[in-house]
Amino acid sequence: MDARKRHYGWYEGKEVFEYVLTNDQQAVFRCIDYGAVVTGIEVPDQFGKRENVVLGFKQFEDYVNDSPYFGAFVGRVAGRIADGAWSAYRLTQNEGQHHIHGGVHNFSQRVWDSRVVKENNKVGVAFSLVSPDGDNGYPGNLSVTVTYYWTNENVWEMLITAETDQQTLFNPTNHTYFNLSGNTKRKVLNHTLQMDAEKYAETNGAKLPTGRLLPVANTAFDFRVPKKMRTAIKERPEGFDTPFKLTGNKKIQLHDPDSGRILVIETDREAVVVFSTTDMEEDYLVDGEKMSSHRGIALETQELPDAVHHPKFRSIVIEPERTYHYRTKYTFTTHQA
């Protein structure tokens, strides 16, 4: 297995590097130390053709100027916090009156310390960052490390650790958008999605959870058996920006029957937010075409959003003198032709 580091750009006077991890099958995982962004994952289709299966940009400046969190590590807290309020603290209100994705100049918009790490059957990059006390209104000095491993079995492992010196909030996610067709040659409408999720979190007009967890049975939110995204969008034309509470094995599967590619996600997190990119009509280019609806789908493993206001949701409060660990695994395989 091989790990290479190269210059990628400059940000606020800091040099930004790209890491290219290549396994023995020549499948490739690419990431940069700006925002711990995953810039590319090149895996074979059912005929052995290797292509990129995530949305991203060709040049660094686009990640700074245009990115809707393509591939980014988002924190301290992913998603929205109503009114930017927690306990006696006031967080940055960067979506109207609400707080979203950790605030302004959040984890996804900073240059992280980075280093290559190797184990027997995998190679990776460890990204580390200290978020200071008061960062976007959050208390406590928070030390975070996220490690992306790439294995010979075409598995991306994301391991997160965190420590704080004061009680604070922590609910990060990776915001990669997937398109298994390869180089976004087709939209994701023919992809099928399946999840171990019996309930979803009802949201209001501000996309904030109401606190009610509703059964998916007999609704557009039922992905307990494989469902084509075309069917799901027909059932719910406004699309999905929806938290699902995971159950059982907490497994999520995305399949593109045209390429034969399959992505299986396994996690120890409580939930996944499915973002279908519906009505995402933008001027920036992805693989030479303007960003548009259903060019990708984000599957964001995390705890349920706005948990600080809903006691029945898993707590995202973390305490000092403890090390917190979070894990998500992404396995890329194929159905053979």
Section 51-62 average pLDDT: 96
What are 139-176's pLDDT values in tens digits?
Answer: 999 999 999 999 999 999 999 999 999 999 999 999 99
Q: What is the CATH number of the domain that holds 243?
A: 2.70.98.10
d(CA 46, CA 41): 16
Q: Which residues pair with 170 in a beta bridge?
A: none
* For residue 273, pLDDT beyond 90: yes
Q: Which of 101, 175, 255, 310 is catalytic?
A: 175
Q: Name the pLDDT band for 336 (thresholds 50, 70, 90).
A: low
What are 38-52's pLDDT values in tens digits?
Answer: 999 999 999 999 999
What pLDDT score was predicted for residue 335?
84
> Range of 109's domain?
2-334
Q: Which residues pair with 5 in a beta bridge?
A: 19
Section 230-235 average pLDDT: 98
Cα angle at 315 between 313 and 318, to 5 degrees? 170
Cβ-defined contacts of 205-211 (< 8 Å, 24+): 206/80, 206/82, 206/96, 206/98, 207/80, 207/241, 208/80, 208/82, 208/98, 208/305, 208/306, 209/243, 209/304, 209/305, 209/306, 209/310, 209/313, 211/309, 211/310, 211/312, 211/313
What pLDDT score was predicted for residue 120?
82
Q: Does residue 99 carry a catalytic annotation? A: no
Q: 6-40 burial, b for 16+ CB within 10 Å, e for fewer?
A: eebbebeeeebbbbbbbbeeebbbbbbbbbbbbbb
Whole-number mean pLDDT of the chain? 96
What are 67-126's pLDDT values in tens digits?
Answer: 899 999 999 999 999 999 999 999 999 999 999 999 999 999 999 999 999 988 899 999
How large a percentage of the chain has pLDDT more than 90? 96
* For residue 296, pLDDT beyond 90: yes
* For residue 242, pLDDT beyond 70: yes
User: What global pTM score does this model have?
Assistant: 0.96
User: Considering its fold, how many domains does the chain have in total?
Assistant: 1
How large a percentage of the chain has pLDDT more than 70? 99
What are 6-28's pLDDT values in tens digits?
Answer: 999 999 999 999 999 999 999 99
What pLDDT score was predicted for residue 138?
98
What pLDDT score was predicted for residue 281?
94
Q: Which of 163, 266, 270, 300 is catalytic?
A: 300
What are 112-122's pLDDT values in tens digits?
Answer: 999 999 988 89
Q: Does residue 309 carry a catalytic annotation? A: no
